[in-house]
Amino acid sequence: MVEVSVRPITDKATFVSAWADLYERASATSFFLSPAWMGAWIECAAPIAKLYCAEGIEEGRVKAQGIFGEPLGRHAITSLREIRLHETGNTQLDNIYIEENDFLISDDAGSDVRKAMLAAAAAHFARYDSIVFRNTMPQLADALETWSKGKDEWVYKEIAAQSDYRVDLTDADDGDGLLLASFSSSLRANIRRSIRLYEARGPLSIKIAASPEEKASAWSKLIDLHEARWRQQGQSGVFANDHLMKFHESLQKMAPEKISLAEVFCGNDVVGVLYNFLHEGAVINYQTGFKMEDDNKLKPGLLSHALACDHYRKQGFKQYDFLAGDDEYKRKFGKETHQLKTIALERRSLRMKARNFLKALR
């Protein structure tokens, strides 16, 4: 039987090492639970948040781990107390946006280990107003719903749900060796038209940044293109966030082999830059920057993703993952794989009732 304890993380290096050891014994893992992602996240989170390790031990060996965080300096009397799985409650840092969220669990753990982890977390954080689990994998969402049934202290609340879309790069092409037959017909038509229009200007090409200098150049282009688009709309893009920038700089230093910056060119002019993660045969598209065009027949985003799918397919990758979000281009390119639910366990208290009542009046 698994025994779960919850304690503050006091030694970052020791914890990350233990996490990496458990990760090697867990096959059902996502990039967002990898030692690279978690190591960079803890490095950025520790100075601004309280971090707690939930750890399940069975037969003397660690079988499950998870990290709960809350921001430093929040006044417990005047504000709701919230704890989050693999987030901090600091909005800027949480904007790195974890997906496929779950506890890290070894292959030989018992079937009820998630429920045991939830029970321990609920007991340890019993005086908190809510425990939030953003973008959970289906198995954690199911465990949350099952565990919470009949509990007097906690209420299960589904806050949001969104689909994950992926391209199967092993699908057959449609005869031209570039576009997959699985792409929608309208998508293929738009991409082919874009190719003709761009090629009238110059040859199209895609380049994966290799050297440190090339990576630094591609990263700078990505930021410039991304921010220019948002400035055009009178807003700031994600790279205006110092916490997010620090996180990705740490991630790129910790795991350069997991990072792929793909640049798409028309002649010598950049069309787009894609910031991707490489993980177990999959390409995960995390962020993009495209050169905006006045002619709406030019589709720099669609073109860049199509050329990227073709490039990575030829390199032997099996999937191109757009991550969660119900954007039209994701539906045209990929197929829905699963839903990621954001769930809160809310404590039955007068404060929570008052908050929910006020929110309903807005």
Q: Do 107 and 226 share a domain, yes or no? A: no
Q: What pLDDT is recorded for position 347?
A: 92
Q: Do 294 and 255 share a domain, yes or no? A: yes
Quick check: is 277 in a domain? yes
Residue 201: CATH number of its domain: 3.40.630.30
Q: Between the CA of residue 82 and those of 126, 128, 131, 345, what are the distances in Å?
A: 11, 6, 6, 10
Structural element, H or E, at residue 55: strand 49-58
Cα–Cα distance, 201 to 198 (Å, whole number):
5
Structural domains in the chain (count) = 2
Q: Do 155 and 175 share a domain, yes or no? A: no
Quick check: is 325 in a domain? no
Range of the domain at 261: 170-317
Quick check: is 331 in a domain? no
Quick check: is 330 in a domain? no
Tell me which long-range contacts 200-204 makes (C-beta under 8 A, separation of at least 24). Answer: 201/266, 201/267, 201/269, 202/266, 202/267, 202/268, 202/269, 203/266, 203/267, 204/264, 204/265, 204/266, 204/271, 204/303, 204/307
Q: Do 217 and 286 share a domain, yes or no? A: yes
Cα–Cα distance, 295 to 288 (Å, whole number):
20
Q: Do 205 and 156 share a domain, yes or no? A: no
Q: What pLDDT is recorded for position 111?
A: 87
Quick check: is 322 in a domain? no
Q: Mean pLDDT by 10-residue block, N- to C-terminus, for the chain (362 residues)?
A: 94 95 91 97 96 95 97 68 96 96 95 95 95 97 95 94 96 90 92 97 98 96 93 83 96 96 98 97 97 93 97 97 93 93 88 60 59
Cα–Cα distance, 148 to 119 (Å, whole number):
9
Quick check: is 85 in a domain? yes
Q: Do 43 and 13 share a domain, yes or no? A: yes
Cα–Cα distance, 42 to 49 (Å, whole number):
10
258 token code pair: 């997991």
Taking a C-beta distance cutoff of 8 angstroms, is the pair 131, 120 a contact?
A: no
Q: Do 80 and 192 share a domain, yes or no? A: no
Q: Do 297 and 355 share a domain, yes or no? A: no
Of 283, 282, 266, 361, whose CA–CA distance to 274 is shortest? 283
Quick check: is 257 in a domain? yes
Of 158, 180, 160, whose CA–CA distance to 170 is shortest? 180
Q: Do 157 and 208 share a domain, yes or no? A: no
Q: Do 14 and 146 share a domain, yes or no? A: yes
- Residue positions counted in the chain: 362
Cα–Cα distance, 309 to 319 (Å, whole number):
9
Q: Do 158 and 194 share a domain, yes or no? A: no
Taking a C-beta distance cutoff of 8 angstroms, is the pair 58, 2 a contact?
A: yes
Q: Do 140 and 18 share a domain, yes or no? A: yes
Quick check: is 327 in a domain? no
